[in-house]
Amino acid sequence: MNPKIALKKIWLDEDVTEFVVTVIDGVSTFKSKVYVGYDYLQSLIKELSTFKDQIYGGIYDIEMGEFGPEYASGAFKARLHYYVPGKLSIATHQQTEFFDFSNRKEAAESKMYLKTEPTLLDNFIAQLQKLNSGDADEAELECA
């Protein structure tokens, strides 16, 4: 299993889009479903296109869905950080939808840590553009 972060479009209407976010660190795999606003991808593409050039210590957070039992579906957060020029670290946190477990509500959670590089981030942005235009249903950020 090659390390990656994958976004797969499952469903959309005029207000929201549902994605399955898959994170693979090379050993473990974790998936969560998230909802985002209809124009989320446009904003993400614009912000990542700016961030990609901040190779001297830039930090950017990708956030999809909401954490907590009050919200529908699950959540995903990834902190991208250029810790040295040309090296991009990614810390992820995911949560599934809450479900009944014994006498309480619970959700599965995962934290994973990945590394990638600027060229692979460029490829991801290009795939996000295809996803946004409807020419693809999935975008992947390959990691090392």
Digit-by-digit pLDDT tens for the chain (144 residues) are 899 999 999 999 999 999 999 999 999 999 999 999 989 999 999 999 999 999 888 999 999 999 999 988 899 999 999 998 889 999 999 999 999 999 999 999 999 999 999 999 999 999 999 999 999 999 999 998
Handedness of CA 58, 142, 9, 99 (dihedral sign): negative
Q: How far is CA 86 from the centre of its chain?
A: 20
- Bridge partners of residue 29, in order along the sequence: 24
Q: In what order do the strands lie in the sheet with 16-24?
A: 29-37, 16-24, 4-12, 138-142
Confirm if 89 and 114 have CB atoms less than 8 A apart: yes
pTM score: 0.94
